Chain A
Amino acid sequence: MTHPTELTLAELRDALKAKDVSSGEATDAYLTRIEAAGELNAFITVTADKARAMAKASDNKLAKGEGGDLEGVPLGIKDLFCTEGVLTTAGSHILDGFKPEYESTVTTNLWNDGAVMLGKLNMDEFAMGSSNETSFYGPVINPWRRTDNDAPLAPGGSSGGSSTSVAARLCAGATATDTGGSIRQPASLTGTVGVKPTYGRVSRWGVVAFASSLDQAGPITRDVRDAAIMLRSMAGHDPKDSTCINRPVPDYEAALGQSIKGLRVGVPKEYRLDGMPEEIETLWAQGIEWMKDAGCEIVDISLPLTKYALPVYYIVAPAEASSNLARYDGVKYGHRTKDYFDILSMYENTRAEGFGDEVKRRVLIGTYVLSAGYYDAYYLRAQKVRKKIFDEFTDAFEKCDLMLTPSAPSAAFGLGEKFEDPISMYLNDIFTVTANLAGLPGASVPAGLDKQGLPLGLQLLAKPFDEETMFKGMHALEQAADFNAKPDEWWG
């Protein structure tokens, strides 16, 4: 039969249930591939022993015809999710040696459904970045390369370990998180599917906090069906997260293949940017044609506040981050400096040594915009513009059921290309950040290759808690695009 790592998550799930392959075999096959892919730097920690033990337990259940929806399926976990007894770093030096005494709700849900943990995935430090270059553990390398040269490319970020490990077949699927685009942008840059659910759909308990009013976890997978399966397991009410909404989780997989005839698809004109590569423009136009062919009605919409979304984000997110990251003080967990003479110098030197440049930059900006005298001018104003952006989306969704946009303003870029200029890096999230500000679900689906052979994604946005319609649209897009390109295996 096909090598187990070549199967999609759904195919592997079915093969496991049919006993065509065991979880032990699939897990070993993935561990072998992970070992050979060290160059990609996708994993911070590989939990081989734990994976084999979990696989064995799954095989026992499967032998008896028992087991959950993900029984025996090996997954990668972004290193932002706390995993009991397993090093959890958030990509930061300041969490050195941190082995949580508890398990995040999302990973608990996945293990309860039978999934197997292969290890913890690399990411931008505290999820702050769009290229995975801010990680203390070094950049992740995109398995995709341009056809004409071998320059290493960034896999997007912050969930760069998640996107690379899925694109390079190092796991059947991966968890990820998205605060301004950190699921959808890396998915777009690696030819994978990424879903950021509605804010409140998935519990944030046990996920290392970046910007609490924006953070939301979701899956990165090889195809739309896999994302539907993973999200169903990850989502659900959790009393331990007061912002997690108590409403039933639909069977997203059942929505796939349903007709989207008559759905109204909004196309926001403000997402047409000056200087955007022509190929992205063309792909977007192609996406609109695909939706039309599937029977959708295309609606021109206008979101004039779009240009203010990133500035709002770069006040709200650093403000929340400066508050959330105050907990890293060298007392409770992680790194403590050796260089101190009193409590203040211990705090200051611990944080100076423990945080990287981008994290420091954002904590300083956040502290500044929240400080006396500037709070109203920056933070309060940003929260008000956020409300106007939210209202603008609410109004626009009166006229349409979904919105279709590009996922990212460019294909994968070279390591170092945008690293020195923070604002050019921030612009990566220009199409994705609005969904975080408005709390909406959004997804990236691979839709084509550019002239250099690199994947490009299209984004769908939906109304709050209408992930089912989004999945219907994603599936239609996937069918029409028929994207099945894979990166050449140059590593290992």
Chain B
Amino acid sequence: MAVDKETVRKVARLARIAEPEERLEPLAKEISGILGWIEKLNEVDVDGVEAMASTVDVSLPMREDELQDGYTGGGQPDKVVANAPKSEENFFVVPKVVE
């Protein structure tokens, strides 16, 4: 299926990527080209076939819900925010989101 400029605008908004007006048309062309190639899949009969999300045939392993040691443990807020572009008192700082 061919996508148009307006669809690209909508999808870019959903993906939270600012695309300048002049990029929308070329992107629509590129994405349509790729989707056209992908559409070959419509030839395959998939009636009654289950959708495969993973090749690993095991159920998700469970563990006790308790605090772990090390990297995945608690009590390390300074490490959690260490790479933040902006932080204060171990909080991430973002523009105001609530009026």
* Docked-complex contact A364 and B54, CB < 8 angstroms: no
Inter-chain CA distance A331–B96, complex, in Å, is 13
- B67 at interface (Cβ–Cβ under 8 A)? no
Query: Contact mask B58-99 → A, CB, 8 Å, 1/0?
Result: 101101000000011000100110111110000010111100
- A302 at interface (Cβ–Cβ under 8 A)? no
Tell me the number of A-to-B contacts counted with CB atoms below 8 Å: 161
* Docked-complex contact A342 and B95, CB < 8 angstroms: yes
Q: Which of A35-43, A62-70, A93-101, A261-269 contacts the other chain?
A: A93-101
Main secondary structure of the interface of A (DSSP, over half): helix
* Docked-complex contact B97 and A333, CB < 8 angstroms: no
* Docked-complex contact B61 and A346, CB < 8 angstroms: no
Given contacts A361-B27, A381-B41, contact A345 B18 (CB under 8 A): yes
Given contacts A361-B30, A371-B11, contact A308 B44 (CB under 8 A): yes
Query: Contact mask A351-395 → B, CB, 8 Å, 1/0?
Result: 110010000110111011001000000101111111110100000
Inter-chain CA distance A258–B3, complex, in Å, is 55
Q: Which of A233-259 contact B (CB under 8 A)?
A: 239-240, 242-243, 245
Of the residues A200, A343, A368, contact of B56 by C-beta under 8 Å: A200
Inter-chain CA distance A422–B38, complex, in Å, is 13
Q: Closest approach, in angstroms, between the C-beta of B89 and any C-beta of chain A?
A: 16
Inter-chain CA distance A305–B61, complex, in Å, is 33
* Docked-complex contact B18 and A335, CB < 8 angstroms: no
- A286 at interface (Cβ–Cβ under 8 A)? no
Of the residues B34, B40, B51, B54, contact of A365 by C-beta under 8 Å: B34
* Docked-complex contact A97 and B83, CB < 8 angstroms: yes
Inter-chain CA distance A397–B79, complex, in Å, is 48
Given contacts A361-B31, A385-B41, A390-B55, contact A343 B15 (CB under 8 A): no
- A423 at interface (Cβ–Cβ under 8 A)? yes
Q: A101-B76, A388-B49 are in contact. List 9 more A-B contacts (CB 8 A).
A: A311-B39, A330-B85, A333-B85, A347-B16, A348-B16, A363-B15, A371-B11, A380-B51, A387-B50
